[in-house]
């Protein structure tokens, strides 16, 4: 780790505004900018809860007391899921990602919680990130395709659907009391189930599905993502080898 950078776990909302902005900056120049839950007006309030959650770890990277990057990891049994990682342009390069990940994975909470694996999703269009994760020893587990879609219904068939807030206060679409989609500022709908596509709306749907699971027209696909997984102790060893070269 560069001497002028400090990695520290966050547990309060002191840097909330900066972290919300960094979440959004992750998607600058991509098809998903402005279209995910990170851009919803309720996201800042939701992320306050994340900072207090025992199942989430938010780690900040600081320079001269200014936050310059962050990692968000989620606890899923014996697996740490890397939900998001971002560094401001001023500190990128020079192995900052590798150094930060090593420092995080060797923190006491990893051993105390008995975490064995690191998992993450990466878009295929993010070639450099995918190459980096491969270098660290993470292997492909599965692939998903991402689509932009419009409602399939020509007529008003919304009788089985209800709109309500979910437990995190996001406006959500329910079908027979089962949540099937999340609204993003009423402009986009993130579909979690194909039944959501039957809801009549002028908003654009974003749908993620296991690769080739459904016969969706290819020209509606805008990207694919890969789920990657690696053993934490092996990743630490790989990082050590890379640093010592």
Q: What is the pLDDT of residues 198-238, one digit of tens each?
A: 999 999 999 998 766 665 666 689 999 999 999 999 999 99
CATH 3.40.47.10 assigned to 5-141+226-244: no
118: Cβ contacts below 8 Å, ≥ 6 apart? 79, 80, 81, 82, 105, 138, 229, 230, 231, 232, 235
Query: Beta strands 79-87 and 161-165: pairing type?
Result: unpaired
The CA-CA-CA angle for residues 158, 168, 21, to 5°, reads: 110
Break the chain into its structural domains and give their ranges: 5-141+226-244, 145-224
In the chain, what percentage of residues exceed pLDDT 90?
A: 82
Full-model pTM: 0.91
In the chain, what percentage of residues exceed pLDDT 70?
A: 92
Question: pLDDT class for 3, splitting at 50, 70, 90?
Answer: low
* Mean pLDDT computed over 94-98: 91
* Mean pLDDT computed over 51-62: 96
The Cα 131–Cα 120 span in angstroms is 13
pLDDT tens profile 159-185: 689 999 999 999 999 999 999 999 999
């Amino acid at each position: 780790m560069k001497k002028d950078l400090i990695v520290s776990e966050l547990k309060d909302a002191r840097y909330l505004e900066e972290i919300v902005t960094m979440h959004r900056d992750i998607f600058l120049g991509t098809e998903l900018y402005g279209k995910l839950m990170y851009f919803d007006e309720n996201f800042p309030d939701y992320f306050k809860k994340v900072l207090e959650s025992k199942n989430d770890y938010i780690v900040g990277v600081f320079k001269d007391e200014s936050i310059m990057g962050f990692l968000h990891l989620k606890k899923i049994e014996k697996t740490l899921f890397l939900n998001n990682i971002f560094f401001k342009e001023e500190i990128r390069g020079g192995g900052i990602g590798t150094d930060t990940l090593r420092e995080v994975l060797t923190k006491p909470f990893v051993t105390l919680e008995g975490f064995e694996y690191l998992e993450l999703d990466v878009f295929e269009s993010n070639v450099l990130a995918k190459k980096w994760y491969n270098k660290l020893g993470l292997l492909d587990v599965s692939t998903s395709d991402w689509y932009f879609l419009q409602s399939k219904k020509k007529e008003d068939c919304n009788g089985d659907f209800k709109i309500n807030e979910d437990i995190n206060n996001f406006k959500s679409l329910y079908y027979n009391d089962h949540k099937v989609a999340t609204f993003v500022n009423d402009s986009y709908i993130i579909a979690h189930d194909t039944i959501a596509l039957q809801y009549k709306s002028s908003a654009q749907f974003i749908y993620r599905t296991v690769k080739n699971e459904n016969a969706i027209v290819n020209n509606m696909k805008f990207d694919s993502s890969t789920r990657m997984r690696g053993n934490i102790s092996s990743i630490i060893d790989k990082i050590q080898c890379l640093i010592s070269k």
